[in-house]
Amino acid sequence: LCCLGGGMAAPDPRQRDDLIRREASKQTGGRLPLTAAEQRLDAALLKMKQNETWRADFPPAMHFFRARPLIRTSPIFHLLQKMPKGGALHVHDFSMVDVEWLVKNATYRPHCYMCLTDKRSIRFVFSSRWPKALPRCSPWTLLENLRAKMVNTTDFDDSIMGNMTLFSDQDPEVLYPSQDVVWERFEQAFAALWGLVTYAPVFRDYYYQGLTQFYTDNVMYLELRALLPQTYELDGSTHDTAWTLKTYQEVTKQFTEDHPGFFGARIIFTIQRRVNASVMASTVEEAMKLQSDFPEVMAGFDMVGREDKGRPLWYFRDALSLPAERGVTLPFFFHAGETDLEGTEVDQNLLDALLFNTSRIGHGFALGRHPLAKELSRKRGVAVEVCPISNQVLKLVNDMRNHPAAALMSENHPLVISSDDPAMFGASGLSYDFYEAFVGFGGVRSNLGTLKKLAMNSIRYSSLNAKLQDKALAGWKERWDKFVSENSF
């Protein structure tokens, strides 16, 4: 920088090239050396991206619901699907599996009852006896009976599906005109599938199916934010939190045995941020106990729900200080800065998450407006979990090129790409979000090195210990090299 012309000299083209190179080298993966094969693949990728950037209907400039069919025909997307992406570090328990599976599989099981609330949202329950009526819901219908009377169940099944996801073929701007409306529908959709996924036999299969979908998308590891709800059996008996956590552990073990190369999954126990201080305190106590009882599968603790409407982290400071006060380990993985409300109490969550020594930051959408929090996140290697499609559907950003992670990526800020609630948004696995990051806010400049670094980040910033990280990285590297050699000509 010292040597830039003093105005009285025309710029030197070599100096210009040097500046361009230096700026490009600052981006995520900008300093990763690429092998000859990687360079060939990178050149092909650049061409594909240039073609994509100049089309009039540039997918990252559109709402994902409109962009999805275009993305599906993109050669870059097909490459991203095949690419070993490492781990998915920000995914929620009940939005892993596309809703089609829920309808075609779960709702076709025997003893499945459905009712319709006065807000036109559906509710389910499995029961060996006729279930007790729900308040503000129509009388229960046994789906077996109902479907038996239909000539064609396609429309019916489609309407169930539509009730359990935000994705729609209609104009998303009309359907979801404001953050309030889209969050309300988001919460209703979770309530709709709740009775299905908390039925113990479905719970187990749903999770296995979720792992399958990520595995198929070439994701080898998962950190799942999980509410660990009480699950139930057909006779109405229930299982506690420990059972749920143990089931995650068992199914993960089974899946890993069935799928060589899969590296496992860990659980971040979550609770709604709308609870009060005393509920939070007892939940933190419970989390500490789970962390010590299940150190292998428990990764830590977080809060979920709309940040703007929930309580800020600082409200819960006493509860969140418990582990430190007792000298007990409970890693935090706080959602923070998933907000537009700059300068409000909620917007303080970013700095507070860092004060509570969070291991990563969920979303961090507002980080660019917090220079001190940004500096801390960078210096302490607290990675930001960027979930582009989630931010767009939940109306924080329209055009992906304006996503604040563009700035983070241009300066190699510690970050990973994740998908938050893919089934809710009509996505699956990580590839759609990788597409938005790579083609959208990555710009033409982001390259194969960027993708490689993002995949490596997802292992490096995982909750795995150093030894397991090395092992995971070695496994990933093997698959990466295979991917490169199969796709570079």
- 466 binds a copy of itself per the rule CB under 8 A: no
Active-site residue, 307 included:
no
Residues 287-316 interacting with a copy of itself (rule: CB under 8 A): 314
Q: Segment near Zn ion (CB under 5 A), from 144-152, 275-283, 402-410, 419-427? A: 419-427
Please list, in sequence order, all residues whose beta carbon lies within 8 angstroms of the beta carbon of residue 447, skipping any fewer than 6 positions away.
Answer: 29, 42, 45, 46
- 451 binds a copy of itself per the rule CB under 8 A: no
Q: Pick the catalytic residue: 63, 363, 403, 413?
A: 363
418 close to 90: Cβ distance less than 8 angstroms: yes
- 52 binds Zn ion per the rule CB under 5 A: no
Closest-by-Cβ residue to Zn ion is 420
36-53 vs 466-487: helix axis angle to the nearest 10? 70
Neighbours of 456 (CB within 10 A): 19
**Burial of 374 from C-beta contacts in 10 A (0-12 / 13-18 / 19+):** buried
Between CA 186 and CA 209 the distance in angstroms is 22
Residues 316-345 interacting with a copy of itself (rule: CB under 8 A): 317, 320-321, 324-325, 327, 340-344
Q: Which does 278 bind (CB under 5 to 8 A by kind): Zn ion, a copy of itself, none?
A: none
- 174 binds a copy of itself per the rule CB under 8 A: no
Q: Which of 378, 352, 375, 363 is nearest to 417 (CA)?
A: 363
Between CA 333 and CA 469 the distance in angstroms is 18
- 397 binds a copy of itself per the rule CB under 8 A: yes
Tokens 């982290």, located at residue: 313
CA dihedral 413, 419, 421, 427 (to 10 degrees): 150
Q: 175 phi and psi, to 5 degrees?
A: -65, -40
Size of the site for Zn ion (CB under 5 A): 1
196 close to 97: Cβ distance less than 8 angstroms: no
Comparing CB distances to a copy of itself, the nearer of 257 and 325 is 325
How is residue 261 annotated by DSSP?
T
Site string for a copy of itself, 7-46 (x = CB under 8 A): xxxxx---xx--xx-xx--x--------------------
Residues 246-285 interacting with a copy of itself (rule: CB under 8 A): none
CA distances from 276 to 283, 290, 313, 326 (A): 11, 21, 12, 22
Comparing CB distances to a copy of itself, the nearer of 233 and 399 is 399
Interface residue with Zn ion, options 52, 98, 307, 420 (CB under 5 A): 420
Region of 138 (left: φ > 0; alpha: ψ -120 to 50; beta: rest) is beta
Comparing CB distances to Zn ion, the nearer of 83 and 415 is 415
Coil, helix or strand at residue 262: coil
Q: Which does 282 bind (CB under 5 to 8 A by kind): Zn ion, a copy of itself, none?
A: none
**Least CB distance to a copy of itself at residue 199 (A):** 39
Active-site residue, 144 included:
no
- 385 binds Zn ion per the rule CB under 5 A: no
Which residues contact Zn ion (rule: CB under 5 A)?
420
Which residues contact a copy of itself (rule: CB under 8 A)?
1, 4-11, 15-16, 19-20, 22-23, 26, 53, 56, 61, 173, 180, 314, 317, 320-321, 324-325, 327, 340-344, 347-348, 351-352, 354-357, 368-373, 375-376, 379-380, 396-399, 401-402, 404, 406-407, 410-411, 441-446
Give the catalytic positions in this structure: 338, 363
